[in-house]
Each structure stands twice: as structure tokens, then as C-alpha cells.
Amino acid sequence: MVEEFKGIAASPGIAIGRAHLFTKEKRKIVRKEISSKLVESEIKRFNQSLEKAREYLKDLIDRVRREVGEKEAEIYEAHLMMLDDESSFIKPVEEMIAKERVCAEYAVEKVLEKVISLFRSMESEYMRERAMDIKDVKELVISFLIDRETKREELSMKSVVVAEELLPSDIATLNKRMVLAFVTDKGGPTSHVAIVARTLKIPAVVGTGDFSTRIRGGELLIVDGDKGLVLLNPTEDVISSYRRLREKKEAVLDELMRETKFPAITVDGVRFKVFANVGSLEEVREAIRYGAEGIGLLRTEFMYINRESMPTEEELLEVFLSIGKLMKDRPIIVRTLDIGCDKPLPYVRMPEEANPFLGWRGIRLTLDNPRMMKTQLRALLRAGAYGNFKLMFPMITTVEEIRKAKELLMNAVDELSSGGIQFGEVEVGTMIETPASALIVDLLADEVDFFSIGTNDLTQYIMAADRGNARVSKLYNPLHPAVLRMIHKIIEEAHNAGKEVGMCGEMASDPRAIPLLVGMGLDELSMNPSSIPKAKKVIRSISKKEAENLVTDVLSSKTLSEVLDLIAKFNKSEA
């Protein structure tokens, strides 16, 4: 009988195949006492295992960089850094061996388990998932201490890999060409298995509870990575209908990919810029593949996370230059660091706050850390000498914030020019993602060259509905009349002041919202790379004039359902 299991959709696509159960032999670490004479040699043994682990990881990094990509290799670079962590790893282990006279594997287990539970207790999901990295490092060091070879898991045929959890080092041991899909009992949408699966375009469902204990290797599965479903022992009928669905999806995707080559021009001849939001070098490559005409939002946070100290100006410059090289002369809008609330950094002390989304985040935090901000601004100005870079500030609520941020920029310009360091001019823009900034677009227009609407935050602040809270998700919708009126006003005010305005919130990729944004005359739509083909197709199929009429009707709607009805009617008439 076919059984259905629900998990979290972690990477889209459909896979049909036999299960390969990925199991790890569980090793038991026992507390072995050693005599005081052996303390020194035990510490030496520990250091030797670290050396072996380092060599293993360096090798792995090379292989992953070649076979998978830069982003995945970075995961192991972070592991390498953890191995060298004196204060929370090496020293405490050595001290425990010396003071408690215990064997090295027991000390490693105890010390790192403490760090792991600390990470697991953190509020941020991202930090909780990093506990997996520490566990991975722990397993690696112990495997060298007890002299066990780390071997590559062999997949004899293409299979759906099912596991309780997959650590980065487990994934590295798999031959990805043989993996049809991943299914794991543990993990969330930002776990490594999810990231790797999305990058490699392998369907994945995570968080399936106890699924791996409910099946045997070789059983037939359908993995639906769009819906987060796994079907066990499907009937012939179900298999055929999933096959048809898969073919349909592939055909739609092929057709959509053809759209990427063409500019987004409406049927009455008005062109709209379609840009990409990116947060890594990998995503810049994706953006180009999907036909992005520029980067509308470079989330710089990726240059700061997964490390233990602030990146240097040179390190930042190097990343900017790599992006500039890929994008050639296409514009790249770089957002200054937007950390705080859901995006903490281990090396920036952030106090507990009752309302983090209303707290110390984005520009508020970076203006209070001028040195950190200046380093980023200097690196960007220097990159400006080589590419079409623009600068954008997040979470602005007042004119004073923009002025202060620009003052820091001018300081950076003065420093670079008096130091004889080459730099380029960069345009300055601001995000409009708070109601306060939306209401003073005319005043902000005197301070900046362009605007970009961040509807992800703007919607939550207008509707007073947390963007991550499922209970109020009905309210969290940018198509509500209040949000639409606000967006309309922002665009109008910006244009009255002669300034361009784009949108980098998720709304820009919503096919239902695009006719409204076209009708309101938004200059640029920026979205996750894989949404670009569909967005271009929508723009190319509608008339700007008709979209303007739709906007007039929608702005006098009273409810969300009226708005949705008007959009549905418009789509029918334009089809």
C-alpha cells in the first residue's frame, strides 16, 4: 500500500527511484582513564589527529571545489577554521586530558558536545543548524583518534539517499551523479543538505521525522521536492501521473528558459529591467544563466557569516572584484551589511531584545559600528574603479541616517584619495522597507540617486505581522490594499523627484503582482535568479496601458480578495 510522508520542501523537483539507506555505525566513546605519565603523549596523539583531520579537509576542499562548487567548499573551509579554534576547542581538550587524565577521544567528545548544545539552544535557526558543523568536526577528529578510515559511500545505482541526517562530510562522500534525491529525518530549509541539493538541482525533502526508520533499502520512493512529500511504494498509476507531471514541469522550464535571452518589453513596447537578488558568488553565476540584466540586491551578509572574525578590506574587495568580473558592465547594487535580529554574527555582540525586528538591525547597527561600515565602504569604492557598482543602505527610517551613512562614505573617499588608493564613483541609493521611509520619499530623494522597495520587511511593518509567523501569515501579503497604496505612493513620489525606483522584495517575482508593478511604472524588478524567466514572460505578455487601468481599479479595492479577483480577471483578458 502506498504511504505518504510529509516533510519540508528543501529543493524542488520530482524523483522516482529506489531508496539507499545511508547509515553510520554508531561508535561509543568511553571514559578511559590514563596515568599521569601518559598525559603528554595523549595530548600529542590529539594534536596528531588534528593534523590528519586538517590534511583530510584540505583534500576534501579541493575535491568539492572541483566537483561541486565554491559555495560547498566554503562549508569545509569553516570546518578547517573550527579545527584551529584554540579557545573553545584545542585548549579545553588539552586541559581536560591533563586535569582529568582521560583519553583524547573522550575529551573531544565532552568539550565539543558542550559547544554543540550551546549552539542548539540558540534562537536563530541558522545558528542551530551550525551545530551540525561542529558535530561533523567532532566525528572527524574522533575517527582519526580511533584510527578508522573515512571512506566514500558507494552507490551502485542511481538512488534516493535516505538518512536520519546528512552532515556536510557525509554528503562529500557520496557520488552526487548517482543521487536522484535526498530525504532526511532531520534538518531545515537552510541546512547544508538543502543548500547543496538546491545548488546541484537535486530534489530534497528534509525534516521527515522518523521516515528513515520506517523503510528498508531498495524500496521504491517518489520524492516531491516542491510539496515536501515522500511516497513509499507508490502504485503504477501514481508513478505514471508523477512521470507526466515531471515531463510537464521540464517542458515548462525549457520553454521559460528561452525567455531569458529576450528583454522584458510589454506588448505596447515599454521595457522593464529585470535584475537578480544574490547572496553568493554561486548565485551570481545562476543570475547570469537565468538572464539577469543586473544585480538589484547583493546581500553582503554572506561575506561575514561562517567566520570567526570580521573580513578585511582586502578580502571584501576580492569578492566584489570576482562579482564585477562575472557581471562585466552590468550594474551591481550592493547593500551594506544588514545584520541583527534573524542574522546575528558571532563576533558582533548583540544584546537580547524583546522585539528584534524593531530593534538594533541594519543601518542602526552599522552606524553604531563605524569602523566595520567604513571597511565595507572602502572596499566597495575601490571595486568601483573596476565595475558598475552602486551602493544601497538597508532599514533607513530617517533623513539623518542617510546623512550619517553618506558622511562615512565621504570619509572613506577622503581616506582613499589622500592615501593615493584608486577608487571609483558609486551612486548611492536607499531601500524603502519601513513605513517611515516610505512616507518621506520626497525628502530622501534630495539625499540619494535611487530607491529600491524591500517589500519583505515593508509588508511586515505596514501590516504589523511578523514575516516568519505562520499564525499571522494571512495578513502578511503585499497584495493587501494598504501595502499596494503605499507602494504606489513610493513610486509616484520617487518619479516626481526624478529618481528611479526598483523593487528587491519577493513581491517582484510574484506573477500576480507583476502586472501591478508594471502598471505603477516601477523601473526595475529584482528577484531570485530562477524566477527571472517567468517574470520576463509575464511582462512580455501584457500591455502597460492595460496594466495602468488595472492599477486604477485595484487602488480603489477594499479587500485582498477584491484585489485578487481583479488580477485574475486581468490575466484572463490578457491571455
Give the binding site for Mg ion (CB under 5 A): 433, 454, 457
Angle between helix 104-120 and 125-145 (nearest 10): 170
Regarding 361 and contact with ligand PEP (CB under 6 A), the answer is no
Our CB check for ligand PEP shows the closer of 327 and 333 to be 333
Regarding 454 and contact with ligand PEP (CB under 6 A), the answer is yes
Our CB check for ligand PEP shows the closer of 163 and 479 to be 479
Question: Which residue stretch of 208-216, 326-334, 368-376, 451-459 sits at the interface with ligand PEP (rule: CB under 6 A)?
Answer: 451-459
Binding-site partner at residue 455 among Mg ion, ligand PEP, none, CB < 5 to 8 Å by type: ligand PEP
Cβ at position 277, least distance to Mg ion in Å = 11
CA dist list (Å): 352 to 122, 255, 364, 442? 11, 49, 16, 35
Among 306, 369, 398, 456, binds ligand PEP (CB under 6 A): 456
Q: How many angstroms separate the CA atoms of 564 and 479, rounded? A: 8
Binding-site partner at residue 299 among Mg ion, ligand PEP, none, CB < 5 to 8 Å by type: ligand PEP
User: What is the residue type of 503?
Assistant: M
Regarding 259 and contact with ligand PEP (CB under 6 A), the answer is no
Regarding 109 and contact with ligand PEP (CB under 6 A), the answer is no
- Other beta carbons within 10 angstroms of residue 112's beta carbon come to 23
Beta-carbon contacts of 272 under 8 Å, excluding residues fewer than 6 positions away, are 264, 265, 266, 518, 522, 523, 524, 525, 539
Our CB check for ligand PEP shows the closer of 455 and 557 to be 455
Q: How many angstroms separate the CA atoms of 148 and 336, rounded? A: 46
Our CB check for ligand PEP shows the closer of 131 and 297 to be 297
Regarding 433 and contact with ligand PEP (CB under 6 A), the answer is yes
Question: Which residue stretch of 128-136, 195-203, 454-462, 567-575 sits at the interface with ligand PEP (rule: CB under 6 A)?
Answer: 454-462
Q: Which helix (H) or strand (E) holds 107?
A: helix 104-120
Among 455, 509, 528, 530, binds ligand PEP (CB under 6 A): 455
Regarding 536 and contact with ligand PEP (CB under 6 A), the answer is no
Question: Which residue stretch of 44-52, 63-71, 381-389, 453-461 sits at the interface with ligand PEP (rule: CB under 6 A)?
Answer: 453-461
- How many residues bind ligand PEP (CB under 6 A)? The answer is 10
Among 338, 401, 510, 523, binds ligand PEP (CB under 6 A): 338
Q: How many angstroms separate the CA atoms of 245 and 250, rounded? A: 9
Cβ at position 17, least distance to Mg ion in Å = 39
Note if 103 is an active site residue. Answer: no
Among 138, 192, 299, 488, binds ligand PEP (CB under 6 A): 299
Regarding 168 and contact with ligand PEP (CB under 6 A), the answer is no
Q: Where do we find the cell 545548488?
A: 199
Which of 20, 79, 192, 488 is flagged as catalytic?
A: 192
Binding-site partner at residue 504 among ligand PEP, Mg ion, none, CB < 5 to 8 Å by type: ligand PEP
Our CB check for Mg ion shows the closer of 224 and 433 to be 433
Regarding 429 and contact with ligand PEP (CB under 6 A), the answer is no
CA dist list (Å): 389 to 294, 299, 316? 10, 13, 14
Q: Which of 286, 401, 245, 272 is nearest to 336 (CA)?
A: 401
Regarding 283 and contact with ligand PEP (CB under 6 A), the answer is no
**295-299 and 427-432 beta bridge pairing:** unpaired
Across the beta sheet with 229-232, what order do the strands follow? 3-6, 229-232, 220-224, 14-22, 159-163, 179-184, 204-206, 8-11
Cβ at position 335, least distance to Mg ion in Å = 9
Cβ at position 414, least distance to Mg ion in Å = 30
- On whether the CB atoms of residues 323 and 288 are closer than 8 A, the answer is no
Q: How many angstroms separate the CA atoms of 570 and 575, rounded? A: 9
Task: Tell me, residue by residue from 485 to 524, as one string, x for binding to ligand PEP by CB under 6 A and - for no binding.
Answer: -------------------xx-------------------
Cβ at position 352, least distance to ligand PEP in Å = 21
Query: Residue 392 — φ and ψ, nearest 5°?
Result: -145, 140
Q: How many angstroms separate the CA atoms of 91 and 101, rounded? A: 15
Q: Which residue is nearest to Mg ion (CB)?
A: 457
Question: Which residue stretch of 199-207, 374-382, 442-450, 455-463 sits at the interface with ligand PEP (rule: CB under 6 A)?
Answer: 455-463
Q: How many angstroms separate the CA atoms of 448 and 406, rounded? A: 9
What region does 312 belong to: left with phi over 0, alpha with psi -120 to 50, or beta?
A: beta
Q: Which residue is nearest to ligand PEP (CB)?
A: 454
Cβ at position 349, least distance to ligand PEP in Å = 22
Q: Where do we find the cell 573531544?
A: 108
Where do the H-state alpha helices sit in 189-337? Answer: 192-200, 211-214, 236-259, 281-289, 313-327
Q: Which of 306, 349, 298 is nearest to 126 (CA)?
A: 306
Binding-site partner at residue 505 among ligand PEP, Mg ion, none, CB < 5 to 8 Å by type: ligand PEP
Give me the residues that bind ligand PEP (CB under 6 A), please: 297, 299, 338, 433, 454-457, 504-505
Residues assigned a catalytic role:
192, 504
